[in-house]
Structure 1
Amino acid sequence: MEFLSGSAGFLTGYILPFLIVLTLIVFVHEMGHYLAGRWSGIGITAFSVGFGPELFGFTDRHGTRWKLSAIPLGGYVKFLGDEDAASTPDYDALAALPETERKRTFLGAALWKRAVTVAAGPIANFVLAIAIFAVMFSIYGRQIADPVVAEVRAGSAAEAAGVRPGDLLVALDGHPVATFDDVRRYVSVRPEIEILVTISRNGETRDLPMVPERTEMTDQFGNKMELGIIGIVTNQEAGNFRVVEYGPVEAVGQGVIQSWHIVTGTFDYLANLVTGRMKADQLGGPIRVAQASGQMATLGVAALLQLAAVLSVSIGLLNLMPVPVLDGGHLMFYAVEAIRGRPVGPGAQEIAFRIGMALVLMLMVFATWNDISMLLG
């Protein structure tokens, strides 16, 4: 009975929130492809959430099979003329179609229509994230604090540079900062990289160079991560903690800004990965996402939705990478086609898709290995 109880707890605590978050993100991504395809006049034969055998579904009046499939780790839209879920063209089937039907296939569509249809998936992910953040800001507002130093940690980079309690941080590397979160966000992704901190003290500004220390931090759930810190702290008195409320339009603007922060933070992390300033073990896969989903679920629906927004941006960004089999890979081929005036040959595309699939599988294996190592460690 203990085993059954533990299994039920794992299912409801981790797997269920993970599936809710993943299904939302996948559905919105594929709906982007679907809506753009329909708008472009491209025939669509299937819309699936999940891969593998169909669990249940129905066929609409346009001939599209809507279905939920057995393996809930993705999804796809299959266009007329596709051989499989990866949108590999079925050249034999295309040759057998009459001219009127061939124009309704994905391959037979104009180049710009194909590009719009492919790009619509990642764009839908960004729109989802912006919408979630906008709703959260509209309902709850945003807690902010002024970038005023209340305490300087002993032995820190800030102490060595001459930062004092009461100093107001006004810019980092020339970029203005308005809140303490702006400072934390900028510094955390720059471990061991010299930054120029501009402070205001007694009405005078000073530029203080310092190098954030790479430090292992532990969050409230015990998850460890490496971040850059300079050793400053604020508090209620110095930072004037307050909640800023936003109207609908302002909330959307804040949603765009928040989503953009995730994009830039991702690129900063990748740059640190390449230069060796951060470890690759922070790159997680489905196990870590499931764990994070369960942890956020304990904090409430709002926290889980915000995780969904972060993951939606990440998945949209990943899909735009110029790797064959990903949306960005297809867009890369379309760019080549636009320059050459003719599409890349089927043989070259097949080779590229095989290489792309190998790269994606390697990334998945590596991320899953990191997840397993995290659980065992």
Structure 2
Amino acid sequence: MNTIIAFIVIFGALVFFHELGHLVFAKRAGIMCREFAIGFGPKILSFRKNETVYTIRLLPLGGFVRMAGEDPEMIEIKPGQVVGLKFDQDGKVNRIIINNKDQHPDAKSIEVEQSDLEHQMFITGYESMMDEQLERFEISEESYFVMDGEEVQIAPYNRQFASKTLGQRAMAIFAGPLMNFILAFVIFLVIGLAAGYSIDKPIMGELTKDGSAIKSGLQTGDKVQTIDGSAMKSWTDVVKTIQKHPEEELSFKVERDGKTKDISVTPESKKVGNETIGIIGVYQPVEKSVLGAVKNGFVETYTFTKEIITGLGKLITGQFSIKMLSGPVGIYASTDQVAQSGIYYLAKWAALLSINLGIVNLLPLPALDGGRLVFFLVEAVRGKPVDRQKEGLVHFIGFALLMLLMLVVTWNDIQRFFLQ
């Protein structure tokens, strides 16, 4: 149960902050955001605030922000259609009743002749079939369709995604992955402030209860000067020296409370892959400071980003097999393992997943944020946008291929974690 809760919280947080980036920058650009959704499929929970509906959906496979103009409007008015009109205090239409007009007896019923609900914002029509007088009605900037008892806000062109500058549109898309990197940095920062951050100094950190270090008399805070006569300038030097000498007695010269001590330590052996290394049961030293935590947040985010990009490069060049990729099932299984190590490691795992989500979404593949940014780049070069239907087709095909890849990866995860 704890693993399920941890998985839902972590995955939900990553998706939430990713989509929040899209939402915030879209709204800053003046784009109408119709829905902010966590998950796909049927709605489990929903509420409306201002012009946006916030929903949690059944399938935890991601999320989306539905911006006006990105997809064809769901409601369309055609000539000859009979609709009901309601007006605001200025005499402009603020409600267009599409059906169930008998539930709105105060609405003015007209047969539509012409309408423009994007640019000029008007609708013309006849009050009855026998009426020869064509009437024109101005549409309020804040107006709604009413269909099946639900209100859907009409999006004038200046509130639609396509009306914004190239820079505003690109930022609204890029903000999602950007927020994942920011989230990772914040997690590393909080970890650094709460638990401290690792430093590369030749100092003994926390000792395990039954390791060679504590049995030999080493203590937390001991500064290692030499091992078998070789000077130790960093924690990396200490680790490398110990790993090279499993089951071999080593002579440590350490500084403790201003005095020098000689301590003999015999590293235990540990099998790592095909290699046997030495360990003495000691953690890397840590420090606590605000500036250090900030620096560590940037360094950790950069380091993990670099490692993930390197791994993706090896996948592309064939050095890694596609069988090594993990999907939701693999992430869940790994979360279960990490959760057993404690909240500290679970938080670092969440930061790593956040970076991974940001990088994957920036890949120049159709249906991903990176694919959309590629189309913006093409638009910048050629001076005009790519045909929306052609772009939509490319994204649709890309999405279908991504779903196929997801199925393959999920099956690999099931075989790796549950069938072996």
User: Is the pair's TM-score, using the shorter chain for normalization, greater than 0.5?
Assistant: yes
How many residues are treated as equivalent by the alignment?
294
The residue that corresponds to 1:344 in the other structure is 386
Matched ranges for 1:211-222 at <5 A: none
The residue that corresponds to 1:97 in the other structure is 118
The residue that corresponds to 2:419 in the other structure is 376
2:299 to 243, 249, 257: 257
The residue that corresponds to 2:161 in the other structure is 106
Q: Is the 8 A contact 1:146 1:241 kept in 2?
A: no
The percentage of counterpart residues that share the same residue type is 33
Separation in structure 1 between the aligned mates of residue 347 and residue 60 of structure 2, nearest angstrom: 19
Separation in structure 2 between the aligned mates of residue 182 and residue 373 of structure 1, nearest angstrom: 39
Separation in structure 2 between the aligned mates of residue 168 and residue 369 of structure 1, nearest angstrom: 51
The residue that corresponds to 1:328 in the other structure is 370
RMSD: 3.2
Separation in structure 1 between the aligned mates of residue 8 and residue 365 of structure 2, nearest angstrom: 26
Q: Which has the higher contact order (CA 8 A, sep 6+)?
A: 1
Separation in structure 1 between the aligned mates of residue 176 and residue 117 of structure 2, nearest angstrom: 29
Separation in structure 2 between the aligned mates of residue 104 and residue 127 of structure 1, nearest angstrom: 28
Matched, 1:79 2:67: yes
Alpha carbons of structure 1 residues 241 and 365: separation in structure 2 relative to 1, 3 Å: closer
1:47 to 36, 60, 64: 36
1:357 counterpart letter in structure 2: F
1:108 shift after superposition: 1.4
Moved more, 292-301 or 139-148: 139-148
1:233 shift after superposition: 4.7
Query: 1 or 2, which has the higher helix percentage?
Result: 1
Matched, 1:60 2:60: no
Q: Is the 8 A contact 1:57 1:68 kept in 2?
A: yes
Q: Structure 2: state its 5+ residue gaps.
A: 78-115, 121-140, 142-155, 204-226, 241-270
Q: Secondary structure at the match of 2:66?
A: strand
Alpha carbons of structure 1 residues 270 and 82: separation in structure 2 relative to 1, 3 Å: closer
Alpha carbons of structure 1 residues 147 and 168: separation in structure 2 relative to 1, 3 Å: farther
Separation in structure 2 between the aligned mates of residue 168 and residue 285 of structure 1, nearest angstrom: 45
Q: Secondary structure at the match of 1:347?
A: helix
The residue that corresponds to 2:3 in the other structure is 14
The residue that corresponds to 2:353 in the other structure is 311
Q: Is the 8 A contact 2:201 2:285 kept in 1?
A: no
Q: Secondary structure at the match of 1:56?
A: strand
CA deviation profile, 1:280-325 (whole Å, cap 9, x unmatched): 3221111111112222222333322221111000000000001111
The residue that corresponds to 1:134 in the other structure is 189
2:173 to 118, 121, 136: 118
CA deviation profile, 1:8-44 (whole Å, cap 9, x unmatched): xxxx143222111110000000111111111111111
Q: Secondary structure at the match of 1:58?
A: strand
CA deviation profile, 1:119-164 (whole Å, cap 9, x unmatched): 100000000000001100111113455589xxxxxxxxxxxxxxx9
Separation in structure 1 between the aligned mates of residue 389 and residue 239 of structure 2, nearest angstrom: 50
Alpha carbons of structure 1 residues 277 and 182: separation in structure 2 relative to 1, 3 Å: farther
Q: Is the 8 A contact 1:321 1:327 kept in 2?
A: yes
2:236 counterpart letter in structure 1: F
1:253 counterpart letter in structure 2: K
2:196 counterpart letter in structure 1: G
Alpha carbons of structure 1 residues 169 and 365: separation in structure 2 relative to 1, 3 Å: farther
TM-score with structure 1 setting the length: 0.69
Q: Secondary structure at the match of 2:326?
A: coil
Separation in structure 2 between the aligned mates of residue 337 and residue 20 of structure 1, nearest angstrom: 38
The residue that corresponds to 2:335 in the other structure is 293
Moved more, 358-367 or 275-284: 275-284
Alpha carbons of structure 1 residues 245 and 80: separation in structure 2 relative to 1, 3 Å: same
Q: Is the 8 A contact 1:285 1:364 kept in 2?
A: yes
1:358 shift after superposition: 3.0
TM-score with structure 2 setting the length: 0.63
